[in-house]
Structure 1
Amino acid sequence: MDNYTNNNTAKRYRAHVSILGTTQIHLRNPYIIAWWSAAFPGFGHMILSKYLRGFTLFIWEVIINLKANVNLSMIYSFQGNIDMAKEVLDTRWLLIYIPVYIFAIWDSYRTTVDMNNVYMLAEHENHPFNTFSIGALEINYLDKRNPVLSFLWSLFMPGLGQLYIHRIVTAFFVIIWTVAFFYFSHALEAISLLFLGEVQQATSIIKPEWLLFFPSLYGFAVFDSYINTVENNKLYEKVQRSFLTKNYQNPNFQILKGHKVE
């Protein structure tokens, strides 16, 4: 059986290569995934390639956060203005925010544990999967890329690191929301004014409730692109090793264990 062919007969597959990206399961630390869900609901699921769940929780976080003034309350807390922080919170929205926020953390942790178990079973089956996909709009194939470049492109603009490793779904979603955050926060206008020395005007036009989304967004973009580049490289090496062993290694070849020299 060709090591590059997915004949859809296995119960579990380690990876799938399509024109939209390379999706794979591998061992992950459930605490790290849960932490990303705590940093921004939806990110933990997106790292796991659970896109529909991740996008739903992400959009929910943006809408409810702004309605409840959570980010604005955090800004006042950072400034030591606790009374104002409590005053701006809208409890009508806040009480909706809390249970879904906790669910996002719990569900991402639970899903990671389940997927780690599935990975161990898929690794044991070691079933072949497709490594090349071509369509009318795109071509995608499994190969090695530089994790440092993924890191750097994500720093320049969130989503570019995902584009570099052909993680199209995540890249499209992250880029769209990055543009929205830049627009509504007036961050680029404020930066331009800072270069002109207009510090007071730059401070006055900034929208902190939108600006506070950026640390989590940039952190996720960098982490997700870097980790997926590393894991894709590992998967590529594993597939190549299997292909070369099957097609070029002498079936009688054995590695004999040496005797320990006293």
Structure 2
Amino acid sequence: MDNHTNDNTARRYKAHVSIWGTTQLHLRSPYIIAWWSAAFPGFGHMLLSKYLRGYALFIWEVVVNIKAKINLAMIYSFQGNIDLAKEVLDTRWLLMYIPVYLFGIWDSYRTTVDMNKVYLLAEQEDHRFNSFALGAIEINYLDKRNPVFAIIWSLFIPGLGQLYIHRILTAVFVIVWLVIFFYFSHAQEAVSLLFLGKVKQSISVLKPEWLLLIPSHYGFATYDAYVNTIENNKLFEKELRNYLRENYQSKNFIFPTDKR
């Protein structure tokens, strides 16, 4: 198939392969997507390939969370310093944070339900889609990848798993923000001091309000890379199966499951 198979002759098609990545529709659990939005606004939408909305909510979360000192208040709460947690919270930012946080959860759930319906309609229509993209700066094509490698590379550095499966936009976004989180949290400096046996100094250099953003980042990058590797493999197998059936299978051949 060539690059021009996705056209307006179909109301819906299941996937699109471009030099920036493979975008596809598949069934998702609305509860899992909503959970990721609750864990970190923007992640649920990014899992749905709703990048612009996801990036906007993600950046909002980082800026408003830091300004409102929500993570810092959480740390004090975990330590039992409730009064100190109340004191550090900036209500001017906090009151803006709550509505957008709730919107992210609700909208990701609603969008997942809608996109599942669209997928079922696209599956029924079963229109052809492009499986190969060749451009001046990149090449992308459907093939099978190992989901275990996607997990391993994501655990090394979030974003590498996305590069492995050619999700360029998500990879660049995740890597850039990981660098920002590492820089402002002083996490790598703390690790270096810890290896040198300077435990107190290691703890003192950490910025906990930035450090708490990193675990969610690792979790999302790993989950996104793993799930999309599996779904891309399914898409590759189905596209290849349809191609072989259309071009090589005898019209007189009947699968045993097709017999009445």
Structure 1 match to 2:134: 134
Distance in 2 between residues matched to 1:122 and 1:130, nearest whole Å: 15
Amino acid at match of 2:50: K
Structure 2 match to 1:176: 176
Query: Structure 1 residue 258: deviation in Å?
Result: 11
Is residue 4–residue 128 contact of structure 1 (8 Å, CA) maintained in 2? Answer: no
Residues 236 and 94 (structure 1 numbering): CA distance in 2 closer, same or farther, change over 3 Å?
Answer: same
Structure 2 match to 1:114: 114
Amino acid at match of 1:24: Q
Query: Structure 1 residue 2: deviation in Å?
Result: 8.1
Deviation string 1:114-141 (CA, Å, 9 cap, x unpaired) is: 0000000000000000000011100000
Distance in 2 between residues matched to 1:30 and 1:192, nearest whole Å: 41
Structure 1 match to 2:33: 33
Amino acid at match of 1:132: F
182-191 or 76-85, larger mean C-alpha shift: 76-85
Residues 175 and 258 (structure 1 numbering): CA distance in 2 closer, same or farther, change over 3 Å?
Answer: closer
Structure 2 match to 1:221: 221
> Residue 140 of structure 2: SS of its match in structure 1?
strand
Distance in 1 between residues matched to 2:228 and 2:258, nearest whole Å: 38
Is residue 3–residue 132 contact of structure 2 (8 Å, CA) maintained in 1? Answer: no
Matches within 5 A, 1:52-67: 52-67=52-67
Is residue 3–residue 133 contact of structure 2 (8 Å, CA) maintained in 1? Answer: no
Amino acid at match of 1:136: A
Amino acid at match of 1:41: P
- TM (norm. structure 2) is 0.97
Percent of paired sites with the same residue: 73
Amino acid at match of 1:33: I
> Residue 41 of structure 1: SS of its match in structure 2?
coil
Structure 2 match to 1:248: 248
Distance in 2 between residues matched to 1:108 and 1:258, nearest whole Å: 39
| CA RMSD after TM alignment | 1.6
Query: Where does structure 1 lack aligned partners over 5 or more consecutive residues?
Result: none
Deviation string 1:181-224 (CA, Å, 9 cap, x unpaired) is: 00000000000000000001011110000000011100000000
Distance in 1 between residues matched to 2:108 and 2:128, nearest whole Å: 28
* 1:11 equivalenced with 2:1 (yes/no): no
Is residue 45–residue 53 contact of structure 2 (8 Å, CA) maintained in 1? Answer: yes
Amino acid at match of 2:220: F
* 1:86 equivalenced with 2:99 (yes/no): no
Deviation string 1:14-37 (CA, Å, 9 cap, x unpaired) is: 000000000001000000000000
